[in-house]
Structure 1
């Protein structure tokens, strides 16, 4: 995939505006080769976009090519108005959009595409003629937007943690924060059990950990390794009930959404009758107590920035043995028009392997 973690949501208005600039420049560069192209219209529709955008059940964009000219717009067109219309799940299309061609091993690129293409249901109407200049233009668009497009990974998986690693390590190394953590030794961990098999096919616990050792910050996936324990702050619990509250973009929540989230939290995090324990708890196994303020400052944007890069499925969409209190979709977490059938996690895990 492209370097970094992107800054634009695929097919959002901001993304479309940037894509229009990129396409315009590419068309100008290849104007001679496009002279005989004729009129071509392409449209992509991404279902189940991030809920925090309040964009409805889909985002879409389209481009009209007319020989050596192009116009790019947000919105969906009918199949009859397009030469080629492609529809799929927003999270999968986002991740496909992150794959770069230039400078990459073609075999690795093909393997990444094949894996991701299995994971969405696709609706493809029409086709475009083979045209070398058009292919070059579209590849230029893809590679340029790969850097800008935000990925969307399943919550607490290793790929999701890679986004956390980028955010935390970049901020920790910045001039603004580096000096403040140079004497801090502290380990923070989140660990979640009973993970869904489509995301954790080997049954591993989900989660991530952050260790600061005199200013050197390491971010890892999964439970805190034995050699680094005990954690100074540990959040541990069951995966499924935390998913909806673990991927909220708090800065974008409306007051009704905040109220619904509070109601859900009270119901979902009640103490279990059999054990007397809540499904999630936070402790300080080392006894060191709260995170130092200088380190905590680095993590301030982490929740919201990770939530923007989190996919929208629920374990209950693909696994039937989820408690009713944890199974219902919630409006603060995803749009009422969200359609789980655009993902194929009932058939494949996130790595593209058939589910047993």
Structure 2
């Protein structure tokens, strides 16, 4: 006997349409409310920069909205699952489907397929849009909401060791021999790590080897004396390649760029477990939308007249939000090295997939 994975074509389209419209409605509502709250907290900082006005506020919104969509799309799928199944159960439509011979998995199949398509869209959207918007927004924030830097990949607060000494820069832009540092401080330290002197400069360029400081000023810690210096070249052991991999922000890089950054860090012998976990989470994060119909389906089954429909909806919501809590906790544990990166990214997904399937089978019985 052939087993049908989906209900009839008409019923599958009907359920998918209900699901998609509710996802869009919930996502639109969440984004509007959260964007308004976020704009209230940031508008003062944006308008504090001379010359900023309404255009800059709209520009901030165009950069922030993709982040909100990426973060709250899985939540929207969870809430849309509850808003889809609640009226279907209340109006006895689920009972009619079961009476027609459909299993709980067949009723859920159109929603799971829709959620898979949303996950694929979310993955592409995150890699193509969100990473670019995040890079530009962080660079703009670092500039105090002044003119948007031409290089959206500007890195902030970079620290580079050269033996016992440290070369610090407020911002680093460019790449290779064109790398430029701004807000530079060269800390001269002894073997015990005690700072002997500080050399400050507004900018530095690569001198091949070393970094040439512009108008440097030296402060002697022991003598508490400040001296203006001429051309000064420091940190001759620091190369542009080391600068490029010093501070990797996985939120700014797509999965391919992050792979290259991880390979470069690994080749230099640096710890990459945190970035490995972020890399795997770039895949498991968008796929979390697939879990939401499974976790929220507890609201679909069971008699509405039993008086437990609200309890079932609360259980479904609790399961969905519990996944996000466990997912963030596992990722944090992976960053600390307690879990392997792959386990930290995928264990919550597999755990809640099994939990959702167990709850679905039990509620069906």
Q: Of Structure 1 and Structure 2, which has the larger fraction of its residues in helix?
A: 2
- More relative contact order, 1 or 2 (CA 8 Å, 6+ apart): 1
Task: Specify the structure having the higher radius of gyration (Cα).
Answer: 2
Global fold match (TM > 0.5):
no
TM-score where L is the length of structure 1: 0.25
TM-score where L is the length of structure 2: 0.24
Q: Of Structure 1 and Structure 2, which has the larger fraction of its residues in strand?
A: 1
